[in-house]
Amino acid sequence: MTPGPVTVSPQATVAAASSAMRRGRFRHLPVVADSETRSELVGVVSQRDLETWPEAPVEVAESLADRPVAEVMTSQPVTVWPDEPVEVAARLLAEHAIGCLPVVGDEGLVGILTESDLFSVLLRLLGGGEPSSRITLVLPDVPGALGRAMTVVGELGVNLLTVVTEPGPEPGTRGVVLRAGTINAAPLVAALVAAGFPATGPGRPDPDEP
Amino acid sequence: MSGACAVAADERLAAYDFGPDRPFQAGRLDAGLSLLRAAKVLHTGDLLAFGPAGDADLELIHDRDYLEAVARFSADPAPADPVEATRFGLVGDNRPFPGLDEAARLVAGATMAALDAVADGRLTHVFAPVAGLHHAQRRRAVGFCVVNDVAVAIARATRAWPLRVLYVDLDAHHGDGVQAAFYDDPRVCTVSLHETGRYLFPGTGEVHELGRPPGTGRSVNVPLEPGTGDEGFLTAFDAVVEPLAAAFRPDLLVTQNGCDGHAGDPLSDLALSLRGYRDLARRLHRLAHRHCGGRWVATGGGGYDLERVVPRAWALLWAELSGRRLPARVPAAWLASRPGPGWWMEPRRRRREDGPDRPAREAEERNRRTVRAVRRLALPPSVRVGYPLAAPGGTSQRLPGWEPRAGRYQAPRGPLVLRDRCPASLLRRLEVDPGIHTFVRAAEQEREVLARIAEEPAGEVVVAHTPDGVVVGYVAVLEPEPGTRFASLPGLLEVGAVEVATGWRRGGVASALLRFAVEPDPFEDRILVASGLAWHWDLDQSGLSATAYRGVLARVFEAAGFEVLQTDEPEIAYHPANLFVARVGGRVPPARRAAFSSRLVRGHHPMP
């Protein structure tokens, strides 16, 4: 999340919110009513809320710019707690088809989590950007299969940067994506194949070939 | 054509050896140098003296605590703290050995000596075979690369001399460490052709890794498919590297000639042959003389087929660089200790009758798309137009005819004649002002380039020339390159280039040319588009900021009836100063206008 995000008050004009977004190069703003003790979240505006529709008469488009944000914001937005696991936040974004989640703690608004934050998490989880070789496996979805495959990796002394598993292409299978910290991944792929784990990776782009 | 040449290597570099269980072994050096000697193309006097690199140079690229760790592990390779060793990458591929520190410093010292000698003019070309450790990062050893010798040597040379360096990386793996070292440096342009990182190490090197301000556009990546082969690799090289050199105007060429893309190499699947590597060496040699005043340092890079490939690849490269002739066959004496074929390059294979199979065709098609995308991002339009893809001709017909016209424009510097529908024959007779800087370093091409555009089926060249026949500006109108977002719209053409010679700028010539160019009636049936990418602009010369330059460009186009449009076309959206303009002719039917408008903003970018 972005801690301490830029916010607007519900009385701010649409034009002001719009220019704050352009300046900061972001697309969501929490709307916050300040009280003595805490900053109270009252809504969220997205860039789309602020856009005029192209066929609107000019007078309407112009007057919209002067309206208060409170009239176009989403009030009572979906929020998350700061200690919520990232997958919960991701599920909320996906289920509600929204682009951001204000993060609200006991003291009020503490941050904002957006799609871009989730991309960073995804990148970290999948190891993209760290020098490594990519190897994919399809394993039977039974206890011990992943462990046995990883034993092969361990025996070759290769450092794994990331291991991600997901439901496989067929029922009863699990797909596994490894990022191995070695430039010489062909021996690892060969060892996995020899041990009965069909692997795709450098030196073996197509597992169906002999 | 070659001046003095040298090899920056000697037996001391055999110490850079990760041992028999890893592919980067000392045997590489001995096999290679002994072959050069046996073939009588390397003599004692050819060896360049060098010493180990010192801290001051290494710290241009690496952090001190990392260098200290390398020294510590080199003295005692058994890590007291495996977590620290892993953090610095000194495990697995790069597991330290006694003497690693000294060996790595020697590698960097050899590359530094090579660049120094070429930069100060003592030598023309130098080959540093045990060099090009392009993966090493600021504080991490990666892929057998502990010290980034190329980055260190380039950083040192660009500090000592006012040089622009073009770095061309042909290793099968992305040149990530060198790219990272100069990602924001406008004086070092890195281009890497490599096997796609979809599976292969290190996983980076995508087309959109373009650099960071002020170096945006100076990192260029051409990720190629497994099974690309000689022809595909050379095609990609020709489409990108030569025009890039013309656009960047370097003073010195540094290459990483890793030969691990060879079909016999265990580490990659690019399927190149030694013949392909020989052809690449020839092209680099020509490029060095055409664009870099001859100054060229070639480094050996990766390559792990130590018996058949690496020694032969080194011999072919050194023979090309030094201008010495290899004997007809690999010397028998050398083969006695290293049994293998007597050829330097694989015999030519006969073309398969049934043509390429499906995976090969798919790889070809993907590479074609990649190359087009790279060209649009990395090459200014005038250069792209000047170095066209050898693609099958366009599908659309020539614009309906009008008689060639001539007009006049009084520029502050003197009168100019404006001409359209210039036939190639006329263009070949005109002179080109040297201030049309795109082709300054490739003088023989100036006229030819314009003439070639004029010969394209839908190509129009409009020129402004002085009364005595010197071209000082031109506009080229072409079909958009296939595969781009607007390419498939019928009747759409692209203003591929508007260029005015430096001495004639700020005199309204561009505006006058453009207005003149779009006057003919048939343009009323057409949509004309043009795009400007900020990192292609000649901001040094103009003294303008990117935003101000955009404003000037927009006004030039607006004066000719173009309109600035918003689009989320990814190349345009990449930089806030990028510009997209269009001129929709008065007779373009509404349905076609709507089809064009609907392509401006798509809202999402489907994966290629």
Which of B18, B84, B94, B200 to mutate: most A Cβ within 10 Å? B200
- Are residues A202 and B135, on separate chains, in Cβ contact within 8 Å? no
In a domain, A107, yes or no: yes
Mean pLDDT value across residues A77-104: 92
Mark which of B339, B369, B403 sits at the end of a domain: B339
Nearest to A134 among B91, B198, B226 (CB): B198
**Is any Cβ of chain A less than 8 angstroms from the Cβ of B201?**
yes
- pLDDT recorded at residue B607: 38
Confidence of residue B504 (pLDDT cuts 50, 70, 90): very high
Calculate the average pLDDT of chain B: 90
Task: Kindly tell me if the per-residue pLDDT of B133 is higher than 50.
Answer: yes
Whether residues A161 and A182 fall in one domain: yes
- pLDDT recorded at residue B449: 73
In a domain, A81, yes or no: yes
What residues in B contact A179, CB-CB < 8 Å? Answer: 203
Question: Could you tell me the sign of the dihedral formed by the alpha carbons of B446, B452, B455, B461, in that order?
Answer: negative
Residues B207, B379 contacting (CB under 8 angstroms): no
Among B445, B415, B561, B430, smallest CA distance to B495 is for B561
| pLDDT one-digit tens code per residue, A147-168 | 999 999 999 989 999 999 999 9
Which of B140, B199, B221, B304 to mutate: most A Cβ within 10 Å? B199
In a domain, A29, yes or no: yes
Among B103, B245, B231, B254, smallest CA distance to B170 is for B254
Mean pLDDT value across residues B82-105: 93
Whether residues A58 and A159 fall in one domain: no
Confidence of residue B455 (pLDDT cuts 50, 70, 90): confident
The residues facing A102 across adjacent strands are: A112
Whether residues A136 and A56 fall in one domain: no
Whether residues B330 and B397 fall in one domain: no
Mean pLDDT value across residues A115-132: 86
- pLDDT recorded at residue A57: 62
Whether residues A7 and A106 fall in one domain: yes
Whether residues B497 and B592 fall in one domain: yes
In a domain, A145, yes or no: yes
What residues in B contact A135, CB-CB < 8 Å? Answer: 199
What residues in B contact A132, CB-CB < 8 Å? Answer: 201-203
Count of the separate structural domains present in chain A = 2
- pLDDT recorded at residue B351: 59
- Are residues A201 and B199, on separate chains, in Cβ contact within 8 Å? yes
Using CA coordinates, name the residue in chain A closest to B196.
A202
CB pairs under 8 A between A and B: 75
Task: Kindly tell me if the per-residue pLDDT of A207 is higher than 80.
Answer: no
- 3-class DSSP string for B153-208: HHHHHHHHCCCCEEEEECCCCCCHHHHHHCCCCCCEEEEEEEECCCCCCCCCCCCC
- Are residues B199 and A205, on separate chains, in Cβ contact within 8 Å? yes
- pLDDT recorded at residue B354: 61
Lowest mean pLDDT of A59-68, A173-182, B484-493, B511-520, name the range.
Answer: A59-68
Using a pLDDT cut of 70, give the percent of chain A over it. Answer: 89
Count of the separate structural domains present in chain B = 2
Whether residues A19 and A112 fall in one domain: yes
Whether residues B284 and B417 fall in one domain: no
- pLDDT recorded at residue B317: 98
Instruction: Give the integer Cα–Cα distance in Å for B551 and B312.
Output: 54
Task: Kindly tell me if the per-residue pLDDT of A127 is higher than 80.
Answer: no
Whether residues B390 and B532 fall in one domain: yes
Nearest to A131 among B22, B201, B226 (CB): B201
- Are residues B201 and A183, on separate chains, in Cβ contact within 8 Å? yes
**Mapping DSSP to helix (H, G, I), strand (E, B) and coil, where does residue B487 land?**
coil
What residues in A contact B203, CB-CB < 8 Å? Answer: 127-134, 179
Nearest to B201 among A128, A129, A132 (CB): A132
Token pair of B97, please?
Answer: 């050995």
**Is any Cβ of chain A less than 8 angstroms from the Cβ of B203?**
yes
Q: Compute CA distances B497 → A51, B531, B546, B587, whole Å.
A: 35, 9, 18, 25
- pLDDT recorded at residue B553: 93
- Are residues B142 and A183, on separate chains, in Cβ contact within 8 Å? yes
DSSP letters of B292-317? STT-EEEE------TTTTHHHHHHHH
Confidence of residue A93 (pLDDT cuts 50, 70, 90): very high
Instruction: Give the integer Cα–Cα distance in Å for B8 and B29.
Output: 12
Whether residues A183 and A153 fall in one domain: yes
What residues in A contact B84, CB-CB < 8 Å? Answer: none
Whether residues B310 and B454 fall in one domain: no
Using CA coordinates, name the residue in chain B closest to A184.
B267
- Are residues A130 and B203, on separate chains, in Cβ contact within 8 Å? yes
Mark which of A58, A91, A122 sits at the end of a domain: A122
Task: Kindly tell me if the per-residue pLDDT of B608 is higher than 50.
Answer: no
Whether residues B325 and B395 fall in one domain: no
- pLDDT recorded at residue B583: 96
Mark which of A66, A88, A122 sits at the end of a domain: A122
Mean pLDDT value across residues B295-316: 95
Contacts of B182 (CB under 8 A, 6+ apart): B151, B154, B167, B188, B190, B215, B218, B219
Instruction: Give the integer Cα–Cα distance in Å for A110 and B401.
Output: 67
What residues in B contact A186, CB-CB < 8 Å? Answer: 266-267
Nearest to B200 among A128, A133, A157 (CB): A133
Identify which of A1-5, A163-167, B90-94, B135-139 has the greatest average pLDDT.
B135-139
Whether residues A163 and A99 fall in one domain: no
- pLDDT recorded at residue A1: 87
Give the distance from CA A159 to its chain's centroid. 26
Among B496, B491, B487, smallest CA distance to B450 is for B496
Token pair of B471, please?
Answer: 């071209």
Task: Kindly tell me if the per-residue pLDDT of A204 is higher than 80.
Answer: no
| pLDDT one-digit tens code per residue, B282-294 | 999 999 999 999 9
First and final C-alpha spacing in chain A: 47
**Is any Cβ of chain A less than 8 angstroms from the Cβ of B604?**
no
Whether residues B327 and B387 fall in one domain: no
Task: Kindly tell me if the per-residue pLDDT of B457 is higher than 90.
Answer: no
Among A184, A178, A127, A201, smallest CA distance to B226 is for A201
Whether residues A37 and A8 fall in one domain: yes
Lowest mean pLDDT of B39-53, B250-264, B344-358, B559-573, name the range.
Answer: B344-358
Confidence of residue B241 (pLDDT cuts 50, 70, 90): very high
What residues in A contact B137, CB-CB < 8 Å? Answer: 131
Q: List residues of chain A with CB under 8 Å from any CB of chain B.
A: 127-135, 157-159, 179, 181-186, 200-203, 205-206
- Are residues A128 and B201, on separate chains, in Cβ contact within 8 Å? no
Whether residues B285 and B389 fall in one domain: no
In a domain, B84, yes or no: no
Q: Beta strand A2-3 with A173-180: parallel, antiparallel or unpaired?
A: unpaired
**Is any Cβ of chain A less than 8 angstroms from the Cβ of B135?**
yes
Whether residues B263 and B329 fall in one domain: yes
Mark which of B282, B314, B339 sits at the end of a domain: B339
Task: Kindly tell me if the per-residue pLDDT of A208 is higher than 50.
Answer: no
Using CA coordinates, name the residue in chain B closest to A177.
B199
Q: What is the dihedral of CA B360, B366, B372, B373, to 10 degrees?
A: -160
> Annotated catalytic residue: which of B135, B174, B262, B536?
B135
In a domain, A207, yes or no: no
Mean pLDDT value across residues B305-331: 96
Rounded to the nearest angstrom, the minimum Cα separation between A131 and chain B is: 4
In a domain, A210, yes or no: no
Confidence of residue A210 (pLDDT cuts 50, 70, 90): very low
In a domain, B352, yes or no: no
In a domain, B87, yes or no: no
Whether residues B317 and B386 fall in one domain: no
Q: Which CATH number do you get for residue B127?
A: 3.40.800.20
Count, in order, helices (H) and strands (E) of chain A: 7, 10
Whether residues A72 and A149 fall in one domain: no
What residues in A contact B91, CB-CB < 8 Å? Answer: 159
In a domain, A205, yes or no: no
Using a pLDDT cut of 90, give the percent of chain B over it. Answer: 68
Contacts of A201 (CB under 8 A, 6+ apart): A133, A134, A135, A136, A185, A186, A188, A189, B199
Using CA coordinates, name the residue in chain B closest to A188.
B267
Contacts of B344 (CB under 8 A, 6+ apart): B274, B278, B312, B315, B316, B326, B329, B330
Which of B88, B198, B201 to mutate: most A Cβ within 10 Å? B201
Task: Kindly tell me if the per-residue pLDDT of B389 is higher than 80.
Answer: no
The residue written with tokens 């180990």 in the block is B52
Mean pLDDT value across residues B56-76: 96
**Is any Cβ of chain A less than 8 angstroms from the Cβ of B431?**
no
- Are residues A129 and B92, on separate chains, in Cβ contact within 8 Å? no
User: What is the H or E stretch that residue B29 is in?
Assistant: helix B27-38
Which of A55, A134, A161, A183 to mutate: most B Cβ within 10 Å? A183
Q: Which CATH number do you get for residue B481?
A: 3.40.630.30
- pLDDT recorded at residue B542: 79
**Mapping DSSP to helix (H, G, I), strand (E, B) and coil, where does residue A137 land?**
strand
Using CA coordinates, name the residue in chain B closest to A161.
B86
Instruction: Give the integer Cα–Cα distance in Å for B533 and B550.
Output: 9
DSSP letters of B341-379? -S-SSPPPPPPPTT---HHHHHHHHHHHHHHHHHHHHHS
In a domain, B83, yes or no: no
Task: Kindly tell me if the per-residue pLDDT of B107 is higher than 70.
Answer: yes
Q: Which CATH number do you get for residue A173?
A: 3.30.70.260
- Are residues B267 and A202, on separate chains, in Cβ contact within 8 Å? yes
Q: Beta strand A100-105 with A108-114: parallel, antiparallel or unpaired?
A: antiparallel
Whether residues B431 and B573 fall in one domain: yes
Whether residues A117 and A134 fall in one domain: no
Mark which of B339, B357, B388 sits at the end of a domain: B339
Task: Kindly tell me if the per-residue pLDDT of B539 is higher than 50.
Answer: yes
Nearest to B266 among A134, A182, A186 (CB): A186
- pLDDT recorded at residue B1: 39
Using CA coordinates, name the residue in chain B closest to A159.
B92
Instruction: Give the integer Cα–Cα distance in Å for B247 and B93.
Output: 38
Nearest to A186 among B91, B143, B267 (CB): B267
What residues in A contact B199, CB-CB < 8 Å? Answer: 133-135, 200-202, 205
Nearest to A159 among B23, B91, B268 (CB): B91
In a domain, B153, yes or no: yes
Task: Kindly tell me if the per-residue pLDDT of B469 is higher than 80.
Answer: yes
Mark which of A71, A92, A122 sits at the end of a domain: A122
- pLDDT recorded at residue B165: 98
Rounded to the nearest angstrom, the minimum Cα separation between B87 and chain A is: 11
Domain containing A170: what range?
127-200
- Are residues B92 and A181, on separate chains, in Cβ contact within 8 Å? yes
What residues in A contact B173, CB-CB < 8 Å? Answer: 183
Kindly provide the b/e burial profile for residues B488-514, where b requires at least 16 CB atoms within 10 angstroms of the residue's own CB. eeeebbbbbbbbbbeebbebbbbbbbb
Q: Which CATH number do you get for residue A102?
A: 3.10.580.10
Whether residues A165 and A96 fall in one domain: no
Lowest mean pLDDT of A191-205, B31-45, B438-452, B509-523, name the range.
Answer: B438-452
Domain containing B586: what range?
380-600
- Are residues B226 and A184, on separate chains, in Cβ contact within 8 Å? no
Using a pLDDT cut of 70, give the percent of chain B over it. Answer: 94
Nearest to A184 among B89, B93, B359 (CB): B93
Token pair of B517, please?
Answer: 């160019």
- Are residues A131 and B199, on separate chains, in Cβ contact within 8 Å? no
The residue written with tokens 């070939």 in the block is A209
Taking CB atoms within 8 Å and a gap of at least 24, the contacts of A9-13 are A9/A33, A9/A34, A9/A69, A10/A42, A10/A43, A10/A68, A10/A69, A10/A70, A10/A73, A11/A68, A11/A69, A11/A70, A12/A68, A12/A69, A13/A65, A13/A66, A13/A67, A13/A68, A13/A69
Confidence of residue A206 (pLDDT cuts 50, 70, 90): very low
Whether residues B145 and B278 fall in one domain: yes
B208 belongs to the catalytic site: no
Using CA coordinates, name the residue in chain A closest to B172.
A183
Please count the residues of chain A.
210
The residues facing B468 across adjacent strands are: none
| pLDDT one-digit tens code per residue, B548-601 | 999 999 999 999 999 999 988 888 888 889 999 999 999 999 999 999 998 998
Phi, psi angle pair for B37, to nearest 5°? -70, -45
- Are residues B204 and A129, on separate chains, in Cβ contact within 8 Å? yes
Give start and end residues of each alpha helix (H) in chain A: 14-24, 47-50, 58-66, 86-96, 115-126, 145-155, 186-194
In a domain, A206, yes or no: no
Whether residues A78 and A168 fall in one domain: no
Neighbours of B523 (CB within 10 A): 21
In a domain, B209, yes or no: yes
Token pair of B96, please?
Answer: 């330290």
In a domain, B179, yes or no: yes
Instruction: Give the integer Cα–Cα distance in Å for B215 and B178.
Output: 14
| pLDDT one-digit tens code per residue, A174-198 | 999 999 999 999 899 999 999 999 8
Token pair of B479, please?
Answer: 């079909």
